[in-house]
Structure 1
Amino acid sequence: MKECNPVLLKELRQRFRSYRSPLIIALYLMVLGGFLLGIMYLEWRDAAYYFQPGSSKGTFTILSVAQLGLLAFVVPGLTAGVISGERERQTLNVLLTTELSPLSIIVSKLISACSFTALLLIATLPLYSLVFMFGGLAPVQVLGVLGFFLVTMLMFAAIGVTCSTYFKRTGVSTLTTYGVVFFLIAGTGFLAGFIYELYDHNARIAMLNIQETPLIVQLLQDTNPFLVMLRILGEQATIGPGRDMWLPYWGTFTLTYLVLSVTLILWSGYKLNPVKSNRKLFR
């Protein structure tokens, strides 16, 4: 095993030494910072010219929602072309002839994209501390939201790398990645609400009351990033009366996303392998 992965080193150097990296970070912070200052100004203006500490929770929630939206926009853009771009530049075959395994190439691309996204998350911590210093928030909520963003970022990145490996064109890969991410954020919540309404309608016809949320509905809302984040922040973002599960909602979310991420990464390494019967996936 080599001491340093040359693909990972090359990707990190290209990503962090490019002029676009500080530009993206600055633009990212300007959008979030301007959004935060605008909210605080509205709160200050409507509260007799002083900022109420009790409104910090609402500001923090809105800031977290904006952060999730930006992650859903940035991460697919960084990962949806990592393999298909190499294929379009006709450099993928050169990578596959090196001593690196296909899985090592996939992981190197993934780590490079995730490291930059993690840098974006770390760069926004001062904005969160600006809200946190007014009170009204528990430290465990801030840590919970940060952990939630890291798990969600890994899942979005794994989806982007998988689509980039499967599709030959970057445009198709990018469009598919954004579609899957949109389904995870909005589609699962809509599907959970639709299925629950069907159960509730049938129960009303039979003159019965739903005592607990159906299992499929509970699983859908426990794997919906938007609903899970709101529940971490203490909001009552649930569908139905609830259901006793083996794990808490955040445990179900974390375990599901980690298992799916690892599965997608392994499948991408298998799919990228040009000679699946002879060449080893792990090396």
Structure 2
Amino acid sequence: MRGSLIFASFALKKDTREKKTHLLRFACIGIVFCILYSSWFTSSRVGAPGLDFFTKIIWLNFWLVTLAGIGFFSTAITEEKEEETLPLLKLAGINALALLAGKSSVRALRVILLLMGQLPFLLLSVSLGGITPLQIYATLAAMIGYIILISNFALLCSVYAKRSGEAIALVLTALFFYFIFPTL
């Protein structure tokens, strides 16, 4: 467990120093403001503008998390394989379980923190009308569960695959069968 915590804290510290992470967070907030403006602009034609705003944000989050599962989560272990740093991590005393927990939890935590950054704006939809705070919290809990599910499934694909492209293809195939195949 100690190795996993050290690995996770190192990855979080590295994440806070990257400029692109902060730019991504600001871009997410900008998108939320654009959707809020869109809901305000159409509020005269929609019966519950708060529900409209909330629905747009949650669908956007759902598809972004799904895309993150394809590209961001599915390369967790294959990056180490391609850079040939996996033996070095094992040599440093990090066992396989600690490596998996560290890689999975840090990437999932980054996406969950992006989701939690939207919470004040989502609570604004209560004052716009059509939704209650309990519904917002329940939906966020479901989204966190979906993030954990997709990140760990993509991690499984990353462990199984030899290259990042194979892991991405595995996740894409599984998501196709999960979302598209039942409707066909």
What TM-score do you get using the length of structure 1 for normalisation? 0.59
Aligned residue type for 1:41? F
| RMSD between aligned residues | 2.2
Aligned residue type for 2:14? Q
Report the counterpart of residue 165 of structure 1 in structure 2: 159
Higher RCO structure, 1 or 2 (CA under 8 Å, sep 6+): 2
SS at match of 1:133: helix
- 2:123–2:136 CA contact under 8 A, matched in 1: no
Report the counterpart of residue 39 of structure 1 in structure 2: 39
1:121 aligned to 2:102?
no
User: After the TM superposition, which parts of structure 1 deviate over 4 Å for at least 4 consecutive aligned residues?
Assistant: none
Correspondences of 1:256-275 after superposition (within 5 Å): none
CA distance in 2, matches of 1:57, 1:168: 44
- 2:35–2:53 CA contact under 8 A, matched in 1: no
Correspondences of 1:238-253 after superposition (within 5 Å): none
Runs (5+) with no aligned partner, structure 1:
195-283
What TM-score do you get using the length of structure 2 for normalisation? 0.88
More helix by share: 2
CA distance in 2, matches of 1:127, 1:171: 36
CA distance in 1, matches of 2:137, 2:105: 22
CA distance in 2, matches of 1:35, 1:23: 18
Identity of aligned residues (%): 20
CA distance in 2, matches of 1:55, 1:25: 25
Aligned residue type for 1:34? C
Q: CA deviation at 1:182?
A: 4.4
With over 3 angstroms needed to count, the CA separation of the structure-2 counterparts of 1:73 and 1:61, relative to structure 1, is same
Q: CA deviation at 1:165?
A: 0.9
SS at match of 2:131: coil
SS at match of 1:99: coil
How many residues end up aligned between the 2 structures? 184
CA distance in 2, matches of 1:55, 1:4: 44
Aligned residue type for 1:83? I
With over 3 angstroms needed to count, the CA separation of the structure-2 counterparts of 1:183 and 1:125, relative to structure 1, is farther
With over 3 angstroms needed to count, the CA separation of the structure-2 counterparts of 1:178 and 1:37, relative to structure 1, is farther
When Rg is computed on C-alpha atoms for both structures, the one with the higher figure is: 1
